[in-house]
């Protein structure tokens, strides 16, 4: 199966001592071999922030 489920976690929330937001997403293993980064909405910070894939 070429697609796998990943978890994206906010990178800015911990620096501001707020709860982190997490999102579920998928990626194609063949096309995206590195870690995925996306801009997603963080409801705790009330703005769009960078979310990175965690293992």
Question: Which residues span the domain enclosing 20?
Answer: 3-54
The pTM of this model reads 0.87
**Predicted local confidence at residue 48, as pLDDT:** 98
CA 36 – CA 22 distance, rounded (Å)? 13
Beta bridge partners of 42: 47
> pLDDT tens, position by position, for the chain (55 residues)?
789 999 999 999 999 999 999 999 999 999 999 999 999 999 999 999 999 999 8
With CA atoms as reference, report the closest residue to 54 among 5, 3, 2, 1.
5
Displacement of CA 20 from its chain's centroid (Å): 10
Tokens 């501001």 belong to residue = 16
CATH number (domain holding residue 41): 2.20.28.120
Q: How many domains does the chain have?
A: 1
């Amino acid at each position: 199966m070429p697609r796998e489920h990943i978890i994206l976690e906010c990178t800015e929330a911990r620096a501001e001592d707020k709860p982190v937001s997490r999102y579920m997403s998928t990626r194609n293993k063949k096309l995206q071999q590195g870690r995925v980064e996306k801009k997603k909405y963080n409801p705790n910070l009330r703005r769009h922030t960078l979310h990175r894939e965690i293992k």
